[in-house]
Structure 1
Amino acid sequence: MSMKKISLAACFAAIIFLIITTVCIRGMSDGNKPVVKNGQADLSSWDFDEKGGVRLSGEWEFYWEKLLYSDDFKIKPSHTRVSYIDVPSIWNGHVVNGKNVGGEGFATYIASIKLPEGMETVYLKAYDMSSAYRIYADGTLIGKNGDVSADRDMAHPEFNPQIVKFNRENEWVEIIVQVSNYSHYKGGFWESIIIGNEKSVEAMNGKSLMANFFVMGFIVSMAIYHMVIASLIRKEKAFLFFSVFCILMSIRIFITGERCIVDLFENTNWETLQKIEYLSFYMMLPVFIRFIDYLFECKFSRAFLKTVYAFSFIFSIIVLVFPAKAYTRTLSAYHVLIIISGIYVIRAIVSAVRDNINGAQEFSVGFFGFFAAVLVEIVSVQKVLGYQGTLFWGMIFFILMISIAISKQFSAAVIDTEKLALEKEKMVEKVNELNEKLKRRNSDLVNRVTRDGLSGLYNHRHIHEKLAEKAIKANMYGSCLSIGMFDIDRFKDVNDNYGHQFGDKVIVEVARILSENTRNSDAVGRYGGEEFIVIFDGADENVSFEVSERLRIEVEKQIVKNLGVRVTISGGVTELENEECPTNAIRRADELLYRAKRNGRNRIERSMTSKPAQIP
Structure 2
Amino acid sequence: MASSNRAGQDGIYSISHFPDKKLLQLDGKWEFYWQELYTPDDFRRETVQQSPQIIEVPNTWSKYIIGGQELPMTGYATYRLYLDFPKEEAGTTKALYVPNISSAYTLWIDGVVGSKNGVVGKSRDSMKPVNTPKVVQFEVQSNPIELIIQASNYSQRKAGMFDPILIGEPEMILQFRDKKIIFRSVIVMSLVTMGLYHLVLYLFRRKEHSLFFFGNVCLLIALRATLLEEGLASYILPFLTWELAVKLEYIGASLGVMFVSLFTYTQFAKDMNQKLRNTIIIVMSAYSFFVILTPAVVFTRTMIHFQVLIILIFLYLISVYVTAILRKRESSLLNTIAILMLFGTVVNDILFFNNIVKTTELTSVGLLFFLFTQSIILSKQYSMSFMRTEKLSQDLAILNASLGQQVHERTMELQHTNKELQAANQRLNEAHRSRSEWIHNISHEISSPLTNIRAYTKGMLDGVIQSDKNYIQLVYEQSLYLSRILHDLHDMTDMENRQIRLDIKSVDIQEYGYKVYQKYKWDLEKQGIDFEWKSSLFDQAENRFVLIDEVRIEQVIVNLLNNAQRFVHENGKIVLELTNEQNEKVMIKVMDNGIGIEEEELELVFNRFYKNGNHGKVHSGSGLGLAISKEIVEYHNGTIGVKSKKGEGSCFYFTLPFKV
Partner of 1:404: 376
Deviation at 1:242, TM superposition (A): 1.1
Contact 2:15 2:85 survives alignment (8 Å) = yes
Alignment of 1:487-526 (within 5 A): none
* 1:189 matched residue in structure 2: 161
Distance 1:111 1:97 in 2: 22
| 1:280 Cα deviation from its structure 2 partner | 1.1
Answer whether contact 2:81 2:146 (CA < 8 A) is retained: yes
1:315 counterpart residue number:
287
Deviations 1:445-470 (A, max 9, x none): xxxxxxxxxxxxxxxxxxxxxxxxxx
Q: Counterparts of 2:185 and 2:408 in 1: how far apart (Å)?
A: 65
Match of 1:237 in 2: 209
Distance 1:104 1:426, change over 3 A: farther
Cα distance in 2 between the residues matched to 1:37 and 1:360? 55
**1:165-180 correspondence runs (5 A):** 165-180=137-152
Question: Per the alignment, do residues 150 and 409 of structure 1 end up closer, same or farther by CA in structure 2, a change over 3 Å counting?
Answer: same
1:188 partner SS: coil
- In the aligned structure 2, how far is the partner of 1:351 from the partner of 1:159? 44
Question: Match of 2:18?
Answer: 46
Which residue among 323, 331, 351 is the counterpart of 1:351?
323
Please tell me whether the aligned partners of residues 123 and 154 of structure 2 are also in contact (alpha carbons under 8 angstroms): no
Cα root mean square deviation, aligned: 2.9
The residue correspondences of 1:163-312 to structure 2 (distance < 5 A) are: 163-312=135-284
**Correspondence for 1:70:** 40
Partner of 1:88: 58
Indicate if the aligned counterparts of 1:282 and 1:312 stay in contact, CA closer than 8 A: yes
Structure 2 counterpart SS, 1:337: helix
SS in 2 for 1:41: strand
Alpha-carbon displacement from aligned partner over 1:470-510 (angstroms, at most 9, x marks no partner): xxxxxxxxxxxxxxxxxxxxxxxxxxxxxxxxxxxxxxxxx
Letter in 2 for 1:90: T
Letter of the structure 1 residue corresponding to residue 380 of structure 2: K
Show the counterpart of 2:92: 120
Asked if 2 retains the 8 angstrom alpha-carbon contact of 1:248 and 1:281, the reply is yes
Shift of residue 63, structure 1, vs aligned partner: 1.9
Distance 1:72 1:434, change over 3 A: farther
Bigger RCO (CA 8 Å, 6+ sep) = 1
Do 2:199 and 2:211's aligned partners in 1 also have CA atoms closer than 8 Å? yes
Question: Contact 1:104–1:186 at 8 Å: present in 2 too?
Answer: no
Instruction: Tell me if structure 2 keeps the 8 A contact 1:146–1:158.
Output: yes
- Which one-letter code corresponds to 1:34 in the other structure? N
Alignment partner, residue 77 of structure 2 = 107
Amino acid at match of 1:188: G
| Paired residue secondary structure (1:92) | helix
- 1:207: how far off? 1.2
Distance 1:335 1:264 in 2: 27
- CA distance, structure 2, for counterparts of residue 128 and residue 435 of structure 1: 87
Distance 1:259 1:431, change over 3 A: farther
Corresponding residue SS for 1:178? strand
5+ unaligned residues in a row in structure 2: which ranges?
415-660
Using the TM superposition, give the Cα deviation of residue 387 of structure 1 relative to its aligned residue in structure 2, in angstroms: 7.1
In the alignment of these two chains, the number of paired residues is 408
Checking the alignment, whether the CA contact within 8 Å between 1:90 and 1:186 is kept in structure 2 is yes
1:160-216 Cα offsets, whole Å, 9 max, x none, are 122122222222222222110112133221322221121110111121111111211
Query: Match for 1:159 among 120, 131, 137?
Result: 131
Structure 1: distance between partners of 2:131 and 2:402 = 72
Q: Cα distance, 1:263 vs. partner?
A: 2.4
Task: Please give the alpha-carbon distance, in whole angstroms, between the structure 2 residues aligned to 1:436 and 1:322.
Answer: 82
1:434 shift after superposition? 7.3
SS in 2 for 1:89: coil
SS of the residue corresponding to residue 76 of structure 2 reads strand
Rate the CA distance shift 1:59–1:415 in 2: closer, same or farther, 3 A: farther
What is the correspondence of 1:417-496 to structure 2 with a 5 Å cutoff?
Answer: 417-423=389-395, 437-438=409-410
Q: Do 1:315 and 1:330's aligned partners in 2 also have CA atoms closer than 8 Å?
A: no
CA displacement at 1:441 relative to structure 2: 9.6
- Output the TM-score relative to the length of structure 1: 0.61
Determine if the alignment matches structure 1 residue 365 to structure 2 residue 337: yes
Map 1:584-595 to 2 at 5 A.
none
Q: Which residue of 2 aligns with 1:559?
A: none
Q: Mean Cα displacement is larger for which, 425-434 or 283-292?
A: 425-434
CA drift of 1:389 comes to 1.3
Question: Deviation at 1:142?
Answer: 0.7
Return closer, same or farther for 1:344/1:438 CA change in 2, 3 Å cut-off. same
1:332 aligns with 2:307: no
Q: C-alpha offsets along residues 391-438 of structure 1, whole Å, 9 cap, x if unaligned?
A: 233333333333333333333333234334444565677789979633
Q: What letter is aligned with 1:142? A: G
**Structure 1: gaps spanning 5 or more residues:** 1-29, 443-616
Residue equivalent to 2:114: 142
What is the distance in 2 between the residues matched to 1:171 and 1:359?
64
Distance 1:420 1:108 in 2: 78
Pair 1:272–1:61, CA change in 2 (3 A):
same
Q: What secondary structure does 1:189 align onto? A: coil
Q: Aligned equivalents of 2:44 and 2:413: distance in 1?
A: 115
1:389 aligns with 2:361: yes
Structure showing greater radius of gyration is: 1
Please, what TM-score do these two structures have when normalized by structure 2? 0.57
Cα distance in 2 for residues equivalent to 1:291 and 1:44: 55
Residues 191 and 386 in structure 1, CA contact (< 8 A), matched pair in contact too: no
Give a deviation string over 1:24-52, Cα, whole Å, max 9, x none. xxxxxx356534444333223113xx223
Secondary structure, aligned partner of 2:251: helix
Report the Cα offset of residue 228 of structure 1. 3.9
